[in-house]
Amino acid sequence: MTTYDDTGVRCTMMRGGTSRGLYFLASDLPADPAERGDLLLRLMGTPDPRQIDGLGGATSLTSKVAVVSPSRDDAADVDYLFLQLGVDEPTVSDRQNCGNLLAGVGPFALERGLVRASGDPETVRIRMVNSGSVAVARFAAPGGAPEYRGGTAIDGVPGTAAPVSLEFTGTEGSATGSLLPTGRVRDVVDGVEVTCVDNGMPVVLAEASSLGLAGDEGVERLRADGGLRDRVDALRRTAALEMGLGDVAGAPVPKTVLVAPPRDGGQVATRSFIPVQPHTAIGVLAAVSAVTGMLLPGAVGHELLAGHPPGGVVDVEHPTGHLLVDVDVDVSGGTSGGQVRVRRSGVVRTARKLFDGLAFPRA
């Protein structure tokens, strides 16, 4: 067993969307998942709420890992395995995708030679190993190298950077096997009306008012509300059983997204939780799933998107700004019995390389 204590392991740290994580070639990590997990925890500085002796940033948004390799699927160029690491608990989970770190996978793959430069913009097909679905990333690559500088701003990130366009296919039922995993567009769970939807991320969608919130609360206020955390956890754990996910105690999915009328010119205000701590923004695939659910007649929050043009972009408000989500669904066959078809979903993100070199794990 190689410990990497003395040699270190090659690593790139990147900001992808509103997250930050460590990117590795799969060939640079142990093949055994248990050994790999031990190494990653020691690199990240977990368990420790400060992660003071590692590369983590003391939040779930900065304790993420992307493992990238040549794809085993002819439909993709590279494979991307996402791992969510705990902060104060030594956990490593592969039960979800991450659409934010996904924004950095294409540029990383080009820099590390997993794909050959083929044009500008560059197009990289990425198989998300966690769900088996495929995303297509398009980004500027003048001279065959990723361009990180640009004029695109995304809320939750200071400044601007070059855009990365992400388009998703085959994301329905990513973790549950069905877009509507309970078989219904609306359910009642623990006395709360919810829509359970999975279009890249299993999500429990509920109105903020059903949990006693206005929907415009700040993150610190939500974080300080222990009773709210308990309710969110109970809601998602009970819903998970209905969704076929089993016992999710300690697991990062399903996510909970609370919706309310917009406050800042968007179409819906959201407060999301990962899994019980409030998100400072909203995850890419959580937003895609939430919008997909809300577009279905009879779903929680559907009235907020009443009159929304088919195939139009939805402006999703979150605690630090807005996220534009492009989802087009076909409900001509109804919303039961698996008749809903997702024609298209996508977002625009940015990414930036922060460092590339050797990372040394905690002993």
Complete DSSP assignment for 14-63: EEETTEEEEEEEGGGS-SSHHHHHHHHHHHHT-S-TT-TTSS--SSGGGS
Q: Give 333's pLDDT tier (boundaries 50, 70, 90).
A: confident
pLDDT for 11: 98
Q: Give 238's pLDDT tier (boundaries 50, 70, 90).
A: very high
Eight-state DSSP code of residue 183: S
pLDDT for 140: 95
Q: How far apart are the first and last CA of the chain?
A: 14
| Closest to 257 measured CA to CA, from 283, 295, 227, 237 | 283
CB 359 within 8 A of CB 12: no
Q: Kindly report the CA angle at 4 between 113 and 87, in degrees rounded to 5? A: 90
Q: Which among 106-115, 300-309, 322-331 has the top mean pLDDT? A: 106-115
Q: How far apart are CA 3 and CA 8, in angstroms?
A: 9
pLDDT for 55: 98
- Average pLDDT on 27-31 reads 97
Helices (H), 270-324: 284-294
CB 208 within 8 A of CB 259: yes
Q: What percent of the chain has pLDDT over 70?
A: 98
Measured in whole angstroms, the distance separating CA 208 from the mean position of its chain's CA atoms is: 21
Q: What percent of the chain has pLDDT over 90?
A: 88
Beta bridge partners of 318: 321
Q: Give 311's pLDDT tier (boundaries 50, 70, 90).
A: low
Lowest mean pLDDT among 55-59, 192-196, 205-209, 329-333: 329-333
Q: Is the dihedral of CA 64, 70, 71, 72 positive or negative?
A: negative
Can you identify the CATH homologous superfamily of domain 187-339? Diaminopimelate Epimerase; Chain A, domain 1 (3.10.310.10)
Domain coordinates of the chain in residue numbers?
A: 9-171+350-359, 187-339
Q: How far is CA 251 from CA 134, 196, 213, 229, in A?
A: 23, 17, 25, 15
CB 161 within 8 A of CB 352: yes
- Average pLDDT on 102-106 reads 98
Bigger pLDDT: 119 vs 263: 263
CB 236 within 8 A of CB 281: no
- Average pLDDT on 287-298 reads 95
Can you identify the CATH homologous superfamily of domain 9-171+350-359? Diaminopimelate Epimerase; Chain A, domain 1 (3.10.310.10)
- Average pLDDT on 128-137 reads 94
Q: Give 344's pLDDT tier (boundaries 50, 70, 90).
A: confident
Q: Which amino acid is at 314?
A: V
pLDDT for 336: 66
Q: How far apart are CA 71 and CA 80, in angstroms?
A: 8
**Helix (H) or strand (E) run with residue 187 in it:** strand 187-189
Q: How far apart are CA 97 and CA 286, in angstroms?
A: 10
Eight-state DSSP code of residue 161: B
pLDDT for 250: 83
Domain 9-171+350-359 identical in fold to domain 187-339: yes
**Helix (H) or strand (E) run with residue 241 in it:** helix 226-242
- Average pLDDT on 219-231 reads 96
Average pLDDT, the chain: 94
Statement: residue 227 has pLDDT above 70: yes
